[in-house]
Structure 1
Amino acid sequence: MKMNKILIVAIALVTISFSSEAQSKSKFGHINSNDLLLLMPERSQAEQSMQIEAKTLEDQLTAMTAEYQSKLQEYEANVASLSDLLKQTKAKEITDLQQRIQNFQVQAQDELQKKEAELLQPIIDKAKVAIKAVAEKNGYSYVFDSSLGVLIHSPSGDDILPLVKKQLGIE
């Protein structure tokens, strides 16, 4: 009986020591990637490029809007003296210009988003590589991005999706 107690205590101690050793090997860290990206010098260069692109598009939009306003004022000032055919032609011209302005705004927004992604992706990739290198060099098993609430570095492990599918009876 006394031997069983000693054996149980010994097993418990070994289990606890292995368990605490396994826990001590897992080192957790976190980083706010938005703060990191804002500190990177490449980010300010990308922002300058974006501002130049946005200014160019804004200038084009301003010119189109000025043309629209001019044509609209001219139409309103002369509408009483225009023939029906000329009224329809001028009204269609103004409507078409208004539609072009709206299309331009949508296309400009899309273009700016694509340009931003194009400029930021290399910076984001550089940050990810640096985070991974720091994590590996300093023994971090897991690094969380506190700005996004996601895991950005972890040791390779087993994908448990098949096991969970089996548990749920999903094939």
Structure 2
Amino acid sequence: MRKLINVFFVAAGLLLTANVANAQQKLGHLSSDEIYANMPEAKAAQATLETLAKTKQAEIDKMIAEYQVKYKAAQDKEKTLSEANKEVVGKELQIAGQEIQDLGKRIEDARTKATTDVQTKQGELFPPINQKLATAMSAVAKEKGLAYVFDTSVSQGFNSLVYFDGGEDITAAVKTKLGISNTPAATKPATTPAKKN
């Protein structure tokens, strides 16, 4: 019986120790939106993507302008159609219609290619930036002894955050680790999500 009581007290002590250890796990949070808004590599990558998108859009706009000119010319040609020139003008309209149709297809193909090119470039530019951020977040979390770090960014839809009330905001420390200025960005969320009960 005495052994049973001793085993009970040892088990209760271990359970109490485990509960105390679990209660002392530290939580932290950061705003990846704020970090990205101040990270030079992310700014440069975003500028590169915007330049590429503008270049592609300018090419498409030029094709659209050409399409509109040809379409207007075909409409004007159609107004000159009469019984006397029916065969000649009809043939010219048929050729113009085919050119307009081909140009419309080229515009759609250019839009698809532009989207693919921008997505491909994004896939080239952002993984190294994401890896650098992940490494910095991991290093800061280890330095601060944090068990969990949550992202409170609006762009993440708070979907990595179930409950937030306090905790240690390590956004500034991660920015320092990355060598970024610690001035707050305008992307910081205005409110925190409601507490879950």
- Aligned with residue 119 of structure 1, among 116, 121, 125: 125
CA-CA distance at 1:51 after TM superposition: 2.0
- The one-letter amino acid of 2:118's match is L
Distance in 2, matches of 1:111 and 1:34, equals: 24
Which of 90-99 and 41-50 deviates more? 41-50
Partner of 2:181: none
Give the TM-score taking structure 2 as reference length.
0.65
Partner of 2:38: 39
How many equivalent residue pairs?
150
- The one-letter amino acid of 1:131's match is M
Which of 50-59 and 29-38 deviates more? 29-38
Distance in 1, matches of 2:70 and 2:99, equals: 9
Does residue 95 of structure 2 align to residue 95 of structure 1? no
Tell me if structure 2 keeps the 8 A contact 1:144–1:150: yes
- The one-letter amino acid of 1:87's match is L
Q: Which runs of 4+ in 1 moved over 4 A?
A: 6-13
Distance in 1, matches of 2:102 and 2:112, equals: 15
Which of 55-64 and 9-18 deviates more? 9-18
CA-CA distance at 1:136 after TM superposition: 1.3
Structure 1 residue runs without a partner (length 5+):
152-171
Tell me if structure 1 keeps the 8 A contact 2:25–2:146: yes
CA-CA distance at 1:150 after TM superposition: 3.5
Alignment of 1:1-171 (within 5 A): 10-11=9-10, 14-15=13-14, 17-24=16-23, 26-79=25-78, 80-81=80-81, 82-147=88-153, 148=156, 149-150=159-160
Distance in 2, matches of 1:16 and 1:120, equals: 45
Distance in 2, matches of 1:70 and 1:63, equals: 11
Which of 30-39 and 58-67 deviates more? 30-39
CA-CA distance at 1:104 after TM superposition: 0.9
Partner of 1:141, secondary structure, is strand
CA-CA distance at 1:125 after TM superposition: 1.1
CA-CA distance at 1:77 after TM superposition: 0.8
Q: Structure 1 or 2: larger helix share?
A: 1
Identify the structure with bigger relative contact order (alpha carbons < 8 Å, sequence gap 6+).
2
Tell me if structure 2 keeps the 8 A contact 1:68–1:94: yes
Partner of 2:17, secondary structure, is helix
Distance in 2, matches of 1:85 and 1:47, equals: 49
